[in-house]
Structures are given as C-alpha cells and as structure tokens.
Amino acid sequence: MKLTSALTFLVASASAQLITDLTGSGWTLHSQNGSISVPATVPSQQYVDLYKAHVIGDPIYGTNNIDQSWVTLQNWTYTSRALTDLKLTNLLASTHLIFQGLDTFAHITLCDQVVGDTKNMYRQYIFDVTAILRSCQSLAPRLTINFGSAVNITHALSAGPDADPASNFADSCGPNTSEFSCKPYARKQQSDFGWDWAPALVPAGPWQPIYAVQMIVGEVHASNALIDIYRKGQRNNLAPDQGQPWVFNCSIDYVGTLVAESGMTLTLKDACGRRVLSQRLTGVTMSAGTITGSTTIGAGAVKLWWPNGMGTQTLYTASVTIHGLFGLPITTVERTVGFRTILLDLGEVTEAERGAGVAPGAHWHFEINGQAFYAKGANFIPPDVFWPRVNETKITQLFELATASHMNMLRVWSSGTYLPDWIYDAADRAGILLWSEFQFSDAEYPNTTAYLREYEAEAYYNVRRTNHHASLALWAGGNELEAILLAFFYNPTNPGVLQQEYEQIFTQLLPKCVYANSRSISYIPSSTYHGYLSLDFDAVQPQKPRYTVTSGPDALYADTDAYNYYAPSLFDITSYPVGRFADEFGFHSMPSALTWAGAAPPDQQFYESETVVNHNRHVPFGATGDAAALSRMGIAEMTDAVRLYLPAPDKRDAGANFTAWCWSTQVVQADDIAHQIAFYRRGSGRRERQMGALYWMLNDLWAAPTWSAVESNNRQKVLYYAAKDIFSPVIVAAYYNTSSSSSDLQVWVTSDLLGPVDATVTYAWIDYAGTPLTVGGAAGGKGSAQVQVGAVSSSEVTGLRYTDLAGTLASGGVDAADALLVLTVSAKSGSTIYTHSAVFHPTSLAGALLRDPALAVTKPKSASGAGGKKHKFSVTATGAVAAWVWLDVATTAVTGYWSANGFWLQKGERRDVVFTVWDDWSHGKWLDGMSARSFWDNTLP
C-alpha cells in the first residue's frame, strides 16, 4: 500500500511541473526618464510597442529611421504584470525563470531584487529565483527587465578596459554613433547597426518568449535537447558509409535533479502517427545538468529525407523519455526528425576526376545521402527589422516561393540571428536545406576570455537546439571572414594580431563546439573558404587552413563571393569568377512603385526623392562624400545600367515614369543574375566542376533599393521569376561576350538531374517582328541538334556554334539590332519530360528595333475565392515579339505569385500563366487592375 502510494506520487509529480507563460500582454514599457509609459507585449522590442502606442511613427516609413533615432539611444524597461501566481505556488517548489532571448544588454530584477544580467541576444538564460520569491515581502511581485542602449554600450566598451585595439582598428570603432561601428562588441544581430540593405535602428527588448518553471523534488524541466542522427562511424566533414545503420544520439539539458539510475527511451512515429519503433537508449551518462544516450536503427527501418526536387521530405516524430526509479517517466522531449546524411565535401580531386577533365585542387560541393547535387538557391536575411513581428505566414510564403522556383538551399547569412526552430521546421517540410552560420560578419571580433566564453555558450546552445533538423546543412563560422583576412591581414610566416584572433575563434573554438555536439554536420570557419590542408579532430586547430597554399596555377579550391556594379561589364562572362561554388553574387534594384507607396509619402514617390535616397544604403566601395551624395552614387549604378541596356523610360506622367524606372532596374538585375546563374551552372560540366549558385539575396526587410528577389511584403521582383526559370532542372542557354572581339556564340545544355539525359535542342533566328531570318554558318537559320548531358553536368551543343557571330550576321545582311535566336530544349528522364526555352539577342534592348507586340490578355471571369485559389490567365503577343512580358496587379489588396512572369513571347505565341492567391481583401476586384507590359511600353511617352 505504501509502495503504491509512493509510485502514485512519483507518477503525479512527473507531470506536475508548473510552467507559467509570461508572454503576451500585461507588460509595460517605460522610457529612461519615465516620461513615456505604454502597454507592451512579450516577445517584443521597444520600437514595436512604441509604434503600437502611437508614440512614434512607423520606424521604416519615410525618414523615420533617422528622425526617431532618439529611441535607440535611450534605456528602456519592460515591467510585467503582478506575478501573484508565482508567489503563492513557490512554497513547496523551486522556481526558475527561463528567457529564450533578450536583446541584448539587460538587467533583470524580481520583487526589486537582482536576478541577473545578460549581454547576449543569442543565448537562452536560466535563473533560479526560488530564494528571491521566498524572501519577497510583496504578494504581487513584478519582473522588470532594463535594456541598455546597445549603441552607447558598445562605444563605451570600445574605450573601456576590455577594448580590443585590433577590433577598433578593423571596424573603425571610435567615439561616434555612426552606423556599423563598434558592433563586434555586442553579441547582437549585427545588421541592427545598419547594413547596405538595412536601417540602423538597433532595437532592444525581450525578443523571445519568457516563462517560469516551478518544480518539486524529483521533477526536471528539459531546457534544450540535442538529437544527432548519423551513420555508424560517421565524422564531420567526411563522407559516411551509406550502408551502415543509423545512430540516434540524444542529449537533453535539464533543470532539476535526476537519480543516478535514470534511463532514456526512444519512440519513433511516422507522419500518420504510426509507431515505427520503440527502444531504450544505451550508454546513458549524466553530467552537469545533461543526460545522454544513444541507440542504433537499421538502415531499412526508416525512409530517407530528401531536399526539394530530389525526393520526398519524409519526417518522423521522435519522443525521448527520461525514466527515473522503477522506470517511471519523468519528462519527455519531442522533436521532428528526418534521416539523411549531409556533407560539404572539401576532399582532394582524385586522379580519376582529373583524367575526366576536372581541374586539380579540392572539391567544394554538398552531398545528400551520398549523392553529389547542385545547390540552387539564395541568401536569406532577417525577414523583418524587428524579429517579434515575423510570423509563420510570412515564412511559409517565402518557403513556398523557394520551392516553386526549384530551390533546394538557402544560406542563412550572418548577421542575422540563429533562426528559431519553427523556421527550421518549415524548411524541414519544404525540403529547403539551410546553410547556417555563427553570428560573425565582416569584422574582427574581440577575443578576451569573457567574449570567448560568450561565443562558446551561444554556439553550444544553438548547435544543440537546431541539430535535429533535417534541413540543417552546414555550420559556417561567419560571413566572408577568410576573404577579408586574405585581402587585408594575412601573413603566412608572421601572423599578426587580427589573423591570430581569427584563427583562435573560427578555426579553434567554434569547430570544437560543433564537433563536440554533432557527428553529422560539416563545419567551415568562413563562408568564403579555401579548405583545409589536414583534418584532425583531436588537434587544437582541427582544420589546418589552406589559405593560399596551392598545388599549381590551375588548381581550384574555393567558393566565390563576387559583385560587379560597373554597367559596361555586367554581361562580360570573362569577368565572372571561376570557382567550385558561388555563395554570393548580385546586383541591386528598386522595389516596385506599389511597395514604395506604402513606405514613402506621396510627394516622395519618385526616383531620387529624399526617402528613396535615405532608404538606399548601398554606396560604391571607397567612395567619399556626405550620406546623400554617396547614396545617389549607389543609385546611379542602377541608372547607368538601365540606360545602357534597356529603353530608358521618359514618361510624361510622374507616377508612370517612377513605375517604369523601378521595373526597369529590376529587369537589369534579373538579366544580370540569370546570366551569372547560367554561367555557374554550366561550370558543373567544365573543368571547375562548379556545384552551387546561391544568389544575393532572396528577401527584404524594408522598402529600399536592395539585391532582393522578393520585396519586404513578399511581392516578387523580376529576379524571382528569372531565377526560377534558369534554375529549371534542364536548361538551354547562350553564352556570348559582347565585350569580346571574338564574337563567339556557344549554346550549352545543363542538367542537375542525378542521371544522364538525352536532349534535343531546336533553334530559330527571327527578327523583332517575328519574321524568320536567313543566317549563314554551319548551323544556318533554324534547325535542331542532339546532345547528351551527364548527371549534374553540362554539354555544349557543338553543332550550334557561331565562332564569328557578328561576321555571320553581317555577311547575311542581318542587322544584329533586329535579330533574335530562340532556343528550346527537351529532355526525358524516366517518364518525365523537361523543357526549357531561352531567347538570345546579340545587342542590348536599348538599341534593338522593338515593335509593338500588341499584347492581348485573357482573364478569368471571376477572381474571387479564398487563399490558395489559382486563377488562369492567357497572354498573347499578337503584333510582334514581346520582350520581358510583365504581369502586374496594381493593388496591395491581394497577395500571391505567378507561375511565370518576365518572359518573352514570339509573335502569335500564347502563354498560359496561373496566379496563386495567398490573401484577397478585394473580394476579387483585384482582377480589374491586372495589366501586362513589355519593353515596348518603355518607348511610349
């Protein structure tokens, strides 16, 4: 009877821990001097609550980012409601406060007693407040969190006893409040201090949830959990044996006390809730608030998870239960997992590969489940200037756009922040691999003992938190760090302070944080990386960096990160970097005029208005002048490109002119990036064996001229559709360098399919009126050609090459300004047929002999319906060839995306397109404002 009672008590206590959610309303935000006091919520940041309370205007509207800068220079205090429930339930229980994220320099009190201080936005903080609550005289204690001004604090740190002269030098940190400066002193999202696509708002506040956990003796609370799934014998950065069984390793961080006899059990269920297996973990160990165990799972017991376009995203629910005395359950951790191996292969190019034409050096490609694949995608930046405003709808839409455009990878740029789990969850479901980075970017970071401890703590927490996600592809130490080192500070024989600091943090500390927690994920110290000379997991420096060591002038080792803003050479393919992988490349463009309408006053909606100039943060490298003059220089790069390559708008109506200019900058951007993607993809079959293209960048966080393909409201630019087209599994593309005197035109077919394909390319020369042209040369004016393309490779259509195109056209009496080469490829793989079309014009559209295409649009009779409904349109060029047909919806009352946009039409050609609606607040009236344009419209007044 007594035993039964004891067991009943233990079972009850296992589920009796009381968790009080402190998120939501009921908080108050106070200014530094007390003159401002407004209702607040958690999670939040000071700008968000001040805007809700109408104390300030929209921080990203007009010039408010400058006019309201006083906000970031003050301290702000969040005060909770009366926490009476915590006081009354504390008598028999311990109480811990758990802060999932505080941004950034915070002083915490409870019942007017000090709880603690924080200084790292990226960490989870746990404080035992049992003694404070028991000694508190008030029955209604309140929690207060005072946030210091990060701008003021970082500048003070730069001049204080912990100042790092090297960091001050490298980052121009000094006694000022300019953007960018001193940011390395804050473990805070670095783009908060401003970036060339972001305002310098520097928010502060409890940006993640807060909760209190109360437990009696015998209970534990799981505060974090690591799940590492890998093939038996697998190690980081090395190829696993795909024939080995899976190892499921789980390590749970907890608050509370476990008995020494504690055990762990795994239950695995499929997406339908069916139990796949249930088994005990073995080798259970406990140490410093962590319990760890593992088990093996047969290779055939589970199905593989694959990225988008390569297979099914099979996911399972893994429930790991901690058991105490008598095997009674104490607590359970549940995570969604997938079974896959992911590797960044940096191994040496083999002799066999060299014999097949691959350049010597080292690989730089990803492998999923043992299969090398071409990484297609973009770079992902914070989706809002304020993280608490980011919601599931916005992220789901972004991933929907990514999957619809053939992407399989996004690089989560630093800095940035470490993405919350729910975003990784969305990527798991979508099949989008997330190249993840530690939050260090374009700077040199302090290496004092205190800072090193912070780096280690945040790395351990986030590696353990995210490792169970099938979408996690890589950990990189930071953004462009090795490139900066090699460009400015590297010394192979006598390393200076900056090089030593870089190596201490990124080649010694951070890899140890990854390798100590995971055997499944590769690590590199920098997004730009030349690889390693040796790999020793037991060494102080596990990867010995290669830096500039090479086996010869033809050897290739690194990925590339390159930008070009000089208009005359945008399409000079000889200027594109040749490397193994392209992780950053881009060109900027305006957002749509419709997006500007929500971000600028009506009298500011023109091309170089005060608002537009203020929102443009990109300036030419090394340029000097005041902020407005520098901004205009950056805008001029877009202007020059439009005037050089397109019919520049000059419309009488100011609004129409602004709309046309915004769109034209987007077309230049789209054309430039599509050419680069095609070039990089072609490299998969050339000596560089180039295996990835991640353009800069997918998304935006405010209305501004930036590199994005998707605007801050998820409205798509032309680039989104151009990248979708050129990311098609099988493509045909023309390669012609207008800057070259050789006038050599080549046509290639590229495939990222995992098996070889036989393809047929058809081609025809026409003029802009749609009339066939007679073109000399071996290929003639039209025809077809066969080509074989290997797995993840490319092949030239050798029968379709014009070694002197200019001469060929001239000898046939063809005006190059009135000539187009229309290309189509068809390839079959299994039962699937892949097709793709491209149009090549030997001269820019600025001087082309455009005609009126007389576009005719057939609309559906009704466009009403809930989100997710698809509406079919037809567009026909009835008069002539139409260049860059753009379908537009002139209202923000509907959101969604097109199946295709920004395409060419031959005369008489009809194209059916579908618009997928996300939200429709117009009740179908958006259809009335739908329009179609091409570059002929730019020539009209």
**Domains of the chain, first to last:** 13-149+202-212 (2.60.120.260), 728-849 (2.60.40.10), 855-939 (2.60.40.10)
Q: What is the dihedral of CA 503, 509, 510, 515, to 10 degrees?
A: 120
What was the pLDDT predicted at 6? 30
CA distance 190 to 480: 14
Weakest-pLDDT range from 2-16, 684-698, 733-747, 830-844: 2-16
pLDDT at 345 over 90: yes
Percentage of the chain with pLDDT > 90?
Answer: 89
Q: How many CA atoms lie within 13 A of 907 on its CB side?
A: 16
* Integer-rounded Cα radius of gyration of the chain: 29
What was the pLDDT predicted at 175? 60
pTM value surpassing 0.85? yes
Residue range 83-116, pLDDT digits in tens: 998 877 777 789 999 999 999 999 999 999 999 9
- Residues 293-310, mean pLDDT to the nearest whole number: 98
Q: 3-class SS at 840?
A: strand
Percentage of the chain with pLDDT > 70?
Answer: 96
CA distance 315 to 685: 33
Residue range 167-215, pLDDT digits in tens: 777 676 766 556 778 999 999 999 999 999 999 999 999 999 999 999 9
pLDDT at 715 over 70: yes
DSSP 418: P
Q: DSSP states of 290-342 as a string?
A: EEEEEEEE-TTSSPBB--TTTS-B--EEEEEEEE-GGG-EEEEEEEEE-B--E
What was the pLDDT predicted at 163? 86
Tokens of 892: 């923000």
Q: How many residues are recorded in the chain?
A: 941
Write down the mean pLDDT value for the chain.
95
Active-site option among 458, 480, 503, 711: 480
Tell me if residue 353 is catalytic. Answer: no
What was the pLDDT predicted at 14? 39
Query: What's the one-letter identity of residue 509?
Result: L
- Residues 384-399, mean pLDDT to the nearest whole number: 98
CA distance 227 to 862: 50
- Residues 132-139, mean pLDDT to the nearest whole number: 92
Tokens of 195: 């970036």
How far, rounded to the nearest angstrom, does the alpha carbon of residue 886 sit from its chain's CA centroid?
26
pLDDT at 67 over 50: yes
Kindly report each contact of residues 106-110 with a partner whose C-beta sits within 8 Å and lies 24 or more positions away, as own/partner. Answer: 106/145, 106/146, 106/147, 106/148, 107/145, 107/146, 107/148, 108/143, 108/144, 108/145, 108/146, 109/143, 109/144, 109/146, 110/83, 110/136, 110/141, 110/142, 110/143, 110/144
- Residues 344-363, mean pLDDT to the nearest whole number: 98
pLDDT at 66 over 70: yes
Q: What are phi and psi of 644, to 5 degrees?
A: -80, -35
